[in-house]
Amino acid sequence: MSCSSIDSKLDLKAYLLGEMPQREKATLDAHVRACTNCREELERLRLTQTALLALEEEEIPQRIAFVSDKVFEPRWWQRIWHSGPAMGFASASVLALAILVHAFARPVGMPAASPVNTAQIDVSKVNQRIEQDVNARIAAAVTKAVADTEARQNQKLTKMLEAAELQRRGDLAAVQQAVRYYDQQMSRLMVASNDVVRERSGQ
Partner 1 sequence: MIFREVEDRDLIAQARRGHVDAYNVLVSRWEKRVFNYLLRLVGHREDALDLSQDVFLKAYQNLRKLDDPAKFAGWLFRIAHNEAYSLLRKARPEGELVGEPKTAESSARMFPMELSLAVRGALARLSGDQREAVLLKVYQGFKFEEIAEILDCPVSTVKSRVYTALDLLKEALAPVNMGGAQ
Runs of H (alpha helix) within 17-116 = 22-34, 36-53, 76-81, 84-105
What Cα–Cα distance (Å) separates residue 197 from each residue in 89, 190, 191?
A: 122, 11, 10
Which stretch in 7-15, 20-28, 105-113, 155-163 sits in contact with partner 1 by CB under 8 A? 7-15
Select the residue interacting with partner 1 from 67, 103, 105, 108 (CB under 8 A): 67
Pick 79 or 159: Cβ nearer partner 1:
79
d(CA 25, CA 18) in angstroms, rounded, equals 9
Binders of partner 1: how many residues, by CB under 8 A? 34
Select the residue interacting with partner 1 from 22, 62, 120, 203 (CB under 8 A): 62
1 and 27 in contact (C-beta within 8 Å)?
yes
Which stretch in 43-51, 102-110, 131-139, 174-182 sits in contact with partner 1 by CB under 8 A? 43-51
CB of 111 to partner 1, least distance (A): 46
1 and 28 in contact (C-beta within 8 Å)?
yes
Which stretch in 44-52, 88-96, 101-109, 147-155 sits in contact with partner 1 by CB under 8 A? 44-52
Give me the 72-101 binding string for partner 1, x by CB under 8 A, dash otherwise.
xxx---xx--x-------------------
What Cα–Cα distance (Å) separates residue 156 from each residue in 79, 149, 150, 170?
A: 75, 11, 10, 21
Pick 37 or 194: Cβ nearer partner 1:
37
Select the residue interacting with partner 1 from 33, 52, 104, 202 (CB under 8 A): 52
Cα dihedral sign for 152, 154, 157, 162? negative
DSSP code, position 75? P
Q: For 94, what's the count of Cα atoms within 13 Å in the CB-facing half-sphere? A: 6
Site of interaction with partner 1 (CB under 8 A): 9-10, 13, 17, 19, 44-45, 47-49, 51-68, 72-74, 78-79, 82
